[in-house]
Structure 1
Amino acid sequence: METAYLKTPIGYAQFEGDANGLASVTVFDDEKPIDIIPEVLEDAVYQFTEYFEGKRAIFDLKLNPQGTDFQKRVWNALLEIPYGKTTSYLNLSKTLGDLKAIRAVAAANGRNPLWIVVPCHRVIGSNGDLTGYAGGLHRKKWLLDHENPVKQQSLF
């Protein structure tokens, strides 16, 4: 497994993957070394750079997350949430065909190993509240604002 780091506007992203695909992307507050990027991770780092520059809305990467079959079903459903849009945990449960699975869906969402690529940040509470995010609610808010097609203008 190879590792690379990228400084982003909301922390340092850590990429892990190999020839089988990108296995995880996580974010840290602590400064990480930005060294030579392994060839298998160059495209991921490049696409993330484009995303943060506002030039990319969809990732085109080979993915290889590790998880249970149920978690992978949830993560695949997350991939269907369009850029700039949100859904609720309840709607995600409906999409997966089991309203009673809302807690399991929320747990799988929270275990998503592919930060931003598999857009778990686009899942919010049924009442519109920003709820739980492994990277911190401040990052979730930043990501949703970044992806919002209607940018708030400053009055000052």
Structure 2
Amino acid sequence: MTSTRQHTVVDSPYGALTLVAADGVLSGLYMTGQRHRPDEESFGERVAAAEEPFPEVVRQLTAYFAGELTEFSVPVRLEGTAFQRSVWEQLVRIPYGQTWSYGRLAAELGKPGASRAVGLANGKNPVGIIVPCHRVIGASGSMTGYGGGIERKVRLLEFESRGAGAR
């Protein structure tokens, strides 16, 4: 079964973001230079950000970057293995402005010994920021791996911690 894919590119404080939709549902949010970023050819036709389904995604991202939104409500289509999807679905439970360790994420999944596998799945999250994989850190508090780069991860966490502290 082949899905109809479209994409658009929008600016953000963290560089250009490529938004990808499959059958009208957001299935990708990729940063420039992101590790595990699919080939551009797989993104489908490029359309304007004003075309469906992108306006609501752009509206929520704009509100997030303005510090006005702490939880996204746009539907997402997470394409991956059953284990990867279970990790990504757990990521949205991490509260804005907080972090969990890979170990805690594994424990929340009922697989306390799977922190390494959780880390690998986390790194392949196809919908960055909205599915907040940047909120997962090493057990020691270290800024371990992030598909969008450690510098972006640190900036996103600092941004959220300032916003969470002001609430």
* The two structures share one fold, judged by TM-score above 0.5: yes
Asked if residue 125 in structure 1 is aligned to residue 138 in structure 2, the reply is yes
Measure the CA separation in 2 of the matches of 1:8 and 1:46. 12
What's the counterpart of residue 85 of structure 2? 72
Cross-structure match for 1:46? 59
Task: State the alpha-carbon separation in 1 of the partners of residues 71 and 28 from structure 2.
Answer: 17
1:141 aligns with 2:154: yes
Residue type at the aligned position of 2:48:
I
Distance 1:82 1:61 in 2: 17
After superposing the two structures, state which structure 1 stretch, 78-87 or 16-25, moved more: 16-25
Counterparts of 1:3 and 1:50 in 2: how far apart (Å)? 20
Within 1, Cα distance between the matches of 2:106 and 2:142? 17
Question: Is the aligned partner of 1:8 residue 2:12?
Answer: yes
Pair 1:61–1:84, CA change in 2 (3 A): same
In the comparison of the two structures, how many residue pairs are matched?
147
User: How does the TM-score come out when normalised to structure 2?
Assistant: 0.83
Identity %: 39
Encode CA deviations 1:85-139: one digit per residue, 9 max, x unaligned.
1000011111111122111110000000001011100000111111100000010
2:26 maps to what in 1?
Answer: 22
Runs of 4+ in 1 over 4 A off after TM superposition: none
**Residue 110 of structure 2 is aligned with which of 86, 97, 103?**
97
Structure 2 distance, partners of 1:14, 1:97, is 33
CA distance in 2, matches of 1:35, 1:75: 27
Q: Alignment partner of 2:59: what SS?
A: helix
Deviation at 1:19, TM superposition (A): 4.0
Cα distance in 1, alignment partners of residues 9 and 69 from structure 2: 19
Q: In the alignment, which of 41, 48, 52 is matched to residue 36 of structure 1?
A: 48
Conserved? CA contact 1:71–1:108, under 8 Å:
yes
Retained in 1: the 8 A contact 2:7–2:47? Answer: no
Residue 150 (structure 1) shift: 3.3
Greater shift after overlay, 11-20 or 99-108? 11-20
Residue type of the alignment partner of 1:83 = Y
What's the RMSD between the two structures over aligned residues? 1.6
Whichever residue aligns with residue 15 of structure 1, its letter is L
Q: Provide the C-alpha distance between the structure 1 equivalents of 2:65 and 2:47, rounded to a whole number of angstroms.
A: 20
